[in-house]
Amino acid sequence: MTRIYVGMSGGVDSSLAAALLLERGFEVTGIYMKNWSQDLPGMKCPWAEDLADAKRVAVQLGIDFKVFDFEKEYKHYVVDYMVEEYKAGRTPNPDIMCNQEVKFKLFLAAALADGADAIATGHYARVRCEESRCAIHHYPVSSRGAEDGVDDSTAQCTKAFLCVAEDHDKDQTYFLYRVTGEALATTLFPLGDYTKQQVREMATERGLWTADKKESMGVCFVGSVGMRDFLGQYVKTRPGDIIDKATGSTLGRHDGAIFYTLGQRHGLDIGGGLPYYVVGKDMAKNEVYVSTNLNDTAMWRRELTLGQLQWIDHVPSDSAGLTVRLRHRGALLPCILSGTVVKLEEPERAPTAGQSAVFYLHGNCLGGGIVA
């Protein structure tokens, strides 16, 4: 029987993922990844409650349950990286780095070393495998191989492809684009064919403990804390001027240029008149530049240079039908990719250094890079 280790976070999505895999005939083990346990001022880290909820669901399903401790690695690969990026004036995405370094590298390696054949998570995405006899992606029921004389325990793929979820609003392929094809070959996303509403309904039908649990918000694994409050634990506030780009006049004060990002409107505390938007910042001078002009050239870019390009399978041979997404739930923008430069058909508002540009073709997520 194929053994699947399911990352169970204590939420409804991963809980149902475990239940569905069990129903499909897999041997399922629940895994809680302990990535963060530190309380922050005014915010208690919910890891203990999440662990308890994950355990309760495992007991309900009658599956084995283990805890993998990646707290040291998470601090290094995700938190330290994120803080350094913000210090450099960029806007990173911690969820993308967590997927790349923790869930689909550390967790995958630890699971396989512990005897798993594959891992699964509650992400809204789909995996396409071209190996028709793959024991993981095409032969999920243990008895099916026996029906047609196929020993499905020996059939496996070596590389798979990432596809968008049925629920386009919940699709999480943007956060998964740095997962390798080799990792996807031993990964299952059981929720990819369902909408969030269907997931809630199926969890309720099965009486899962977490069926009505609210979604977690804030920094990945840390809890409901804003990025500004989180960063404040690692960097000293450094007051500086908020300057009108057009006139050069000082409009107010801020407590650190690190906390502001291109296109930001809220949190400037500049009263009266038209709303101001962040159109730039100077980290060396610790100055934030704002404007009331939504058409400011600094706000709109048609050409982007990308770094750290990573492709799930191969570099696109041409740009026919190619689209790019510059933020989660952002529109798919027609584009032309030439080396590390992506050209958009129309200028896009506030693409920010440090964010990811993720490429798609005919419903497949191909990979992407970091905006320079």
- Determine which helix (DSSP H) or strand (DSSP E) holds 4, and give its type and residue range: strand 3-7
Q: State the catalytic residue, choosing from 98, 134, 163, 365.
A: 98
Cα torsion 310, 171, 37, 68: sign? negative
Strand locations in 59-136, DSSP E? 64-69, 118-120, 126-128
Least Cα distance to 163 among 137, 142, 198, 132 occurs for 137
CA pair distance 363, 292, nearest whole angstrom: 38
Q: Is 335 a catalytic residue?
A: no
Q: State the catalytic residue, choosing from 129, 157, 220, 365.
A: 220
**DSSP labels, 149-202:** T--TTS---S--EEE--SSTTT--HHHHTTS-HHHHTTEE-TTTTS-HHHHHHH
Least Cα distance to 51 among 15, 13, 8, 16 occurs for 8
Cα torsion 140, 150, 110, 123: sign? negative
Strands 323-325 and 300-311: unpaired
Which token pair is 330? 């952002």
List residues with catalytic annotation.
98, 220
